[in-house]
Amino acid sequence: MAAVIEAHGIVNKFGSQVVHDGLDLTLEKGEILGLVGGSGSGKSVLLRTLLGLHKPNAGTVIVGGTDVSDMDDAQKKEMAKKWGVLFQDGALFSGFNVLDNISLPLREHTDLSEKDIKSLALFKLHAVGLKPETATKKPSELSGGMAKRAGIARSLALDPEILFLDEPTAGLDPVAAAAFDDLILQLSHVLELSVLIITHDLDTLVNVCDRIAMIIDKKIVTGTIEEMMKKDHPQIKEYFQGTRMRAVQNEPAHKNAAGAA
């Protein structure tokens, strides 16, 4: 597979604190990659670095064969259209209804008519399993699962090639979390997305992710679930060989969820 994002030799420091030291990471085309790590390991910093929102002290981030640091503002803005981002809280604008939230990227980055924008926004709403009547609701009127889906719909507004998800199942009950995992799988397959998920959810890692990338000792260790479980590093063993992981692997894989949670 071809890489859609390559990070090489990333160093991120804040004062005397070194968060990443020579970190390498690759997101392959069409894969779902789970990013994990302990508290303070710099998962969010790495996400911001990949998105070009944080400039590393050293190293390069290559997107589509081009070093992000060599891009001017116009090139970065154009590149940003290729990806969608869902931050942990969904980041919906509370003063707008769901339809207007989804429409925002279309209004900002396209010359489409309001009629076409509305049609596309409603299509994205349907694509994530939300009913048409959800369009007029404010974020405060949505359940946690519905808000996450609305956030996904907005992140898909510009038909991105890459999707970044920051703790997408955090705060959801097990049923809603399983339904959201199913949604990620469906969208990845139908839209041929490359997906990077920051998550602590073992169910997501087992049932959704093709590979795992774990930040350890300020670098990245990657592998499938099976490969990670065979590694000898004590942090990896604690994470992937514990009782909870064994229980998750013995559970039946998620079935496609009907409707929005």
Question: CA-to-CA distance for 234 and 139, rounded, in angstroms?
Answer: 42
Residues 94 and 85: their CA atoms lie apart, in Å, by: 18
Mean pLDDT of the chain: 89
The mean per-residue pLDDT over the stretch 112-119 comes to 96
- Nearest-angstrom CA–CA distance, 171 and 154: 20
Task: Round to whole Å and give the CA distance between 129 and 185.
Answer: 13
Percentage of the chain beyond pLDDT 70 is 91
**The pLDDT of residue 164:** 95
Domains, the chain, in order of start with CATH, read 31-52+71-250 (3.40.50.300)
Taking each helix axis as running N to C, give the angle between helix 114-127 and helix 98-109, from 0 to 180 degrees, rounded to the nearest 10. 120
What is the band of 259 on the pLDDT scale with cuts at 50, 70, 90?
very low
Q: CA-CA distance, 97 to 90, in Å (whole number)?
A: 14
Q: Which two tokens stand for residue 248?
A: 């998750």
Both tokens of residue 159?
């038909």
Is the pLDDT assigned to residue 227 strictly greater than 60? Answer: yes
Over residues 4-13, mean pLDDT: 96
pLDDT given at position 249: 60
Distance CA 42, CA 50 (A): 12
> Which two three-digit tokens encode residue 94?
């509370």
The pLDDT of residue 130 is above 70: yes
